[in-house]
Amino acid sequence: MYSNAMSSYESVDNMTMPGREIEAAVLTRGARKLRECRDNWDTDNNDRKLEEALKYNQRIWSIFQVELSRDDHPLPKQLRSNILRLSAFIDRRIFETLASPSPKKLGIVIRINENLAAGLRGSPSDDESSRSCDALRRQCD
């Protein structure tokens, strides 16, 4: 019952939120799903939950890739390029984790999701966003 109520709330909430806030909420939810898997690694059904969390995050970043690859996307080209590099890293990490699961592999994706969500909520300037993406990319390399 709680699950149905939460789904209904999220649907209404998503219809009334601005675009950046929706993106931030989706990234935060992706981070939360991964954190729950990492923090409950040795519990029953964690394999199923991990696969679900990884696929959820893969969908998020695939959507970002498609949107950011559009020539008419309003973000500056350098910022789009930085986020696309992050998404390529996340793709690799998700596939690595699916192939050889380890809770340690989830931390960087959780941090990237949370940092990007925080930036979206704070509406940083393009320069600040670019610096944040560059710093995250250096962490990932």
Q: Indicate the average pLDDT of the chain.
A: 83
Domain span at residue 28 reads 2-140
Q: Each residue of 42-82: pLDDT tens digit?
A: 999 999 999 999 999 999 999 999 999 999 999 899 999 99
**What CATH number is attached to the domain comprising 61?**
1.20.120
Q: Are 128 and 32 in contact (CB under 8 A)?
A: no
Rounded to two decimals, the pTM is 0.74
Q: pLDDT at position 130, please?
A: 47
Total structural domains in the chain? 1
Q: pLDDT at position 34, please?
A: 98
Alpha helices in the chain (DSSP H): 2-16, 19-39, 46-69, 77-99, 107-122, 126-140
Per-residue pLDDT at 12 exceeds 70: no
